[in-house]
């Protein structure tokens, strides 16, 4: 039976502006649409984990204007007993979305950078061996959080995004799953090719399980000498904002539930890839995350 999943992660208010193209330096462009969504890598990943079937707890901080973020998590079955309210501003993102479905994101951390080590200790006290910690780089004290969870025997899934100096402070030997894209892989390893990134990570951290997402090239999983590949499912693209978060949520939930056997991991990659494809075919961040029933139905349809 799968353990509990604690996502100590960011919660943002997404202000989304739809444009013909992403604004260039020195350019002014009118937006033809404006929407507000619940978002943040942490929140999106918690919703994906829950919709994939996980028993998910979310920890972190919101500002006073972020109460609807708590409601969004709870409506998706996420336990928010470790979610605190801060007196300051909520974290938020200004997102430009082009007509082609690509996006550009400006982040303000707000309450996401008000988490304390004491907050983390209180939440982690309710978890232990067999449970999973999910974390990103949109909150503060990531290195402390990973070390504290490791001491408790938890498995750790880390998505080091956005890439910051924190990667110098984290002991990668404590990480169970590293989920990265090519740009993040290059920043961590100094290698530019997918093969070079994976080879360097294996050399430095032999026990690390890595998932490298490659956009149109699908994804690659590495666990020691084991390499598994998964193609991308092609869909009409509307909005790529939460694709990576959806992929992570589905992959980690299934991998934590089913174990490290190659066939189980390959299935986790397949679920995650289809979930991400469905997400980019819809608008918004959190609202675009599909349910497990939707993912499995679409997979069955394509495999017939």
Concatenating the DSSP letter of every residue in 77-108 gives T-EEEEEEE-SSPPEEEEEEE-TTS-EEEEEE
pLDDT at 1 (0 to 100): 46
Please tell me the distance from the alpha carbon of residue 146 to that of residue 163, in angstroms, as a whole number: 16
Please tell me the distance from the alpha carbon of residue 147 to that of residue 225, in angstroms, as a whole number: 26
Residues forming beta bridges with residue 223, ordered by sequence position:
209, 226
Please tell me the distance from the alpha carbon of residue 297 to that of residue 159, in angstroms, as a whole number: 28
247: its two tokens: 């992929």
46: its two tokens: 């918690």
182: its two tokens: 């090519």
- Contact between residue 227 and residue 205 where contact means Cβ atoms under 8 Å apart: no
Q: Which of 125, 204, 196, 194 minimizes the C-alpha distance to 167?
A: 204
122: its two tokens: 């209180």
Report the side by side order of strands in the sheet with 79-85. Answer: 79-85, 56-62, 5-8, 132-135, 155-158, 177-181, 209-213, 219-223, 226-230
- Contact between residue 241 and residue 204 where contact means Cβ atoms under 8 Å apart: no
pLDDT at 107 (0 to 100): 86
Beta strands in 109-251 (DSSP E): 132-135, 155-158, 177-181, 209-213, 219-223, 226-230
Count, residues in the chain: 304
pLDDT at 2 (0 to 100): 66
Q: What is the pLDDT of residues 184-198, one digit of tens each?
A: 999 999 999 999 999
Where do runs of H (alpha helix) occur along the chain? 41-51, 67-75, 117-124, 142-151, 182-189, 194-204, 243-258, 262-280, 292-303
What's the start-to-end Cα distance of the chain, in Å? 30
Give backbone dihedrals phi and psi of 137, rounded to 5 degrees, phi first.
-110, 20
Q: Helix-strand-coil percent breakdown of the chain, rounded to 5?
A: 40, 25, 35
Give the CA-trace dihedral at 105, 111, 112, 114, to 10 degrees. Answer: 140
pLDDT at 53 (0 to 100): 96
Low-confidence ranges of the chain (pLDDT < 70): 1-2
Please tell me the distance from the alpha carbon of residue 192 to that of residue 204, in angstroms, as a whole number: 16
pLDDT at 283 (0 to 100): 80
């Amino acid at each position: 039976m799968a353990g509990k999943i604690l996502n100590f992660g960011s919660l943002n208010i997404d202000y989304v502006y739809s444009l013909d193209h992403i604004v260039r330096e020195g350019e002014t462009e009118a937006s033809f649409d404006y929407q507000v969504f619940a978002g943040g890598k942490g929140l999106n990943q918690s919703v994906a984990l829950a919709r994939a079937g996980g028993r998910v707890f979310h920890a972190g901080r919101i500002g006073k204007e972020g109460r609807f973020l708590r409601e969004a998590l709870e409506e998706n079955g996420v336990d928010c007993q470790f979610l605190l309210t801060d007196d300051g501003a909520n974290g938020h993102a200004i997102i430009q979305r082009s007509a082609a479905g690509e996006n550009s994101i400006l982040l303000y951390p707000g309450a996401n950078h008000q988490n304390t080590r004491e907050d983390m200790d209180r939440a982690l006290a309710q978890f232990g061996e067999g449970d999973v910690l999910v974390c990103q780089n949109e909150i503060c004290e990531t290195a402390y959080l990973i070390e504290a969870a490791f001491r408790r025997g938890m498995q750790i899934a880390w998505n080091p995004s956005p890439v910051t100096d924190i990667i110098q402070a984290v002991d990668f030997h404590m990480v169970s799953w590293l989920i990265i894209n090519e740009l993040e892989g290059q920043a961590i390893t100094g290698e530019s090719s997918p093969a070079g990134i994976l080879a360097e990570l294996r050399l430095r951290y032999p026990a690390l399980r890595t998932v490298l997402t490659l956009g149109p090239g699908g994804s690659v999983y590495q666990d020691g000498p084991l390499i598994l590949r998964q193609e991308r499912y092609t869909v009409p693209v509307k909005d790529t904002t939460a694709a990576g978060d959806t992929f992570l949520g589905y992959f980690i939930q299934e991998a934590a539930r089913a174990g490290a056997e190659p066939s189980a991991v390959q299935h986790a990659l397949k679920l995650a890839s289809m979930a991400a494809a469905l997400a980019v075919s819809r608008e918004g961040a959190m609202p675009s995350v599909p349910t497990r029933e939707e993912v499995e139905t679409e997979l069955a349809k394509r495999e017939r």
